[in-house]
Amino acid sequence: MPWEKSFDVNETLDAAMQVFWQQGYQRTSMQDLIKSMGINPGSIYGTFGNKRDLFMGVLRHYQQQLTNWFAGLIDGKSPKNAILAVFESILEEELDNPGHCPGCLLVNTALEVAPHDEEISQLVQEGFNGLRTFYKDSIIKGQSRGEINTVLDANIVADSLVAFTLGLRVVMRLPSRENEIKNAIKQVEMILE
């Protein structure tokens, strides 16, 4: 009789994600993961593999959550307002957790692990590319609707918005960054006019 999982894979990935997100990859031990995931070591290794394999599964899970979050965030908004909604959500996150925001798991991974692991670097890059595609597509749609300046180069502005977004995600890990985030939103509004 085949062995059946007695746990929800997505819930255990969520639990592992929180540990990696708060502590980083290097500082997270298998004991930390076992404790947070609430399953035995055999189930972790049997389902997810070793720590690195689990981390890659967590990154894929996080990217899927980001995709779903983006879809909800931009639903029904004009292209320009969809772009601004991303930055406004960063501000809300800062206001909800001033000085205690863990940042973005992909950005944290880009800083900590990606320089030393090509496969993980590729996963992070895929996430960043998804963000860039969202910005570029939104700019092009906004230009066709007349709400975003048509002289803007969608590729260049998309790259700039990604850099703004990732930079803000790094800055958020420091205390009291509300003014910097508000200034970035003003700058984004000015760029898109």
Cβ burial of 50 (10 Å; 0-12, 13-18, 19+) is exposed
Mean of per-residue pLDDT scores for the chain: 89
Query: Is 44:31 a contact under the CB 8 Å cutoff?
Result: no
Q: What is the pTM of this model?
A: 0.86
Q: What is the pLDDT of residue 4?
A: 52
DSSP SS3 for 38: coil
Model pLDDT, residue 99 = 65
Does residue 157 have a pLDDT over 70? yes
| CA distance linking residue 159 with residue 29, whole number of Å | 36
As given in the structure block, the two tokens for residue 74 are 């931009």
- Residue 5 is predicted with a pLDDT of 60
Calculate helix-pair angle for 154-171, 105-112, nearest 10 degrees.
Answer: 80
CB-CB contact of 58 with 13 (8 Å): yes
pLDDT digits 0-9 by tens, 60-90 = 999 999 889 888 888 899 999 999 999 998 8
Residue whose token pair is 């570029």 = 136
What's the mean pLDDT in 145-159?
Answer: 96
CA 41/CA 52 separation, integer angstroms: 14
